[in-house]
Amino acid sequence: MATQLSVNLNAIAQLRNRRDLPWPSVTGIGRIALQNGAHGLTVHPRPDQRHTRFTDVAELRALIDEEFSQCEFNVEGYPTEDFLQLVEKNRPEQVTLVPDDPAQATSDHGWEFKSQHNMLAPIVERLHSGGMRVSLFADADPEQVKWAKDTGCDRIELYTGPYGGTYDDEAAMRAEVERLGATADAARALGLGVNAGHDLTVANLPALVARIPYLDEVSIGHGLTADAVQFGMAETVKRFLAACGN
């Protein structure tokens, strides 16, 4: 199966929030993405609601349930009690747990699984009891993967920010994609699924998918939204799907 594309709507929500107005519509843009072949939608509702609002989560859940039942909803966040209650109320198909501080501008590192797996394990179990798949944000480090497995999670999401940062250095790009690939191989050997996300583009996706042909899903927001300014959301989704091998 080709790598699935989940469109992250945070940048759309952040643009909307610049004014006290309802446009651009996060749900409306999500609909366009799904109509044009995206396999799912992703949001990361932070406590200060500086981009995705808690109300967006319920509206996007309804959009998928009512119009795109074959698609998936992925909600990312740090597992505070408020966040856990939010996902338990809205039941996304996948919850991606990230270790970022609420004040961070964006996620920029994976979990330290060796020291944090005992904290994560009961949270993973709680989410599983609600019927949700659990993915954990992970750095490109094969040695950490066995500790991720011990949490009981279903997948890891490779943090691809350093890979995205090599856009102007071909040698560094090859090194980063190999680090990601080695980590993915270690995860797969343990029976974990593999997602990826952060600073992925039409230009750098093909090399990543070629190195990790079993990559389950990529969630993409910033690069996809930037392209949508130029090409429109419908055409941009098609370009990203092609880059994923769809």
**What's the number of CA atoms in the CB half-sphere (13 Å) around residue 215?**
31
Kindly state the tokens that stand for 95. 């919850």
Q: What is the pLDDT of residues 124-173, one digit of tens each?
A: 999 999 999 999 999 999 999 999 999 999 999 999 999 999 999 999 99
Q: What is the pLDDT of residues 191-240, one digit of tens each?
A: 999 999 999 999 999 999 999 999 999 999 999 999 999 999 999 999 99
How many folded domains does the chain comprise?
1
Q: Do residues 98 and 44 touch, judged by C-beta distance below 8 A?
A: yes
In angstroms, how far is CA 56 from the centroid of its own chain? 17
- Please list the residues that pair with 27 across neighbouring strands: none
Looking at every residue in the chain, the average pLDDT score rounds to: 96
pLDDT of 103:
65
Q: Give the CA-trace dihedral at 136, 40, 62, 51, to 10 degrees.
A: 60
* Whole-Å CA distances, 145 to 26, 157, 162, 193: 34, 11, 18, 11
Q: CATH no. for residue 67? A: 3.20.20.70
Query: Of the given ranges (11-20, 100-109, 140-149, 206-215), which has the lowest mean pLDDT?
Result: 100-109
- Using DSSP's 3-state secondary structure scheme, residue 89 falls into helix
Q: Do residues 108 and 161 touch, judged by C-beta distance below 8 A?
A: yes
- Please list the residues that pair with 133 across neighbouring strands: 94
Residues 6+ apart with CB under 8 A from 42: 6, 7, 8, 9, 10, 74, 75, 76, 96, 197, 219, 221
C-beta pairs of 19-24 under 8 Å, 24+ apart in sequence: none
54-67 helix and 81-90 helix, angle to the nearest 10 degrees: 20
Per-residue confidence band for 35, with pLDDT thresholds at 50, 70 and 90: very high
The alpha-helical segments, DSSP class H, found in 49-112 are 54-67, 81-90
* Domain that residue 40 falls in: 4-243
Q: Which helix (H) or strand (E) element contains residue 97?
A: strand 94-97
Q: Which residues are catalytic?
A: 44, 76, 198
Q: What is d(CA 239, CA 246) in angstroms, rounded to the nearest whole number?
A: 10
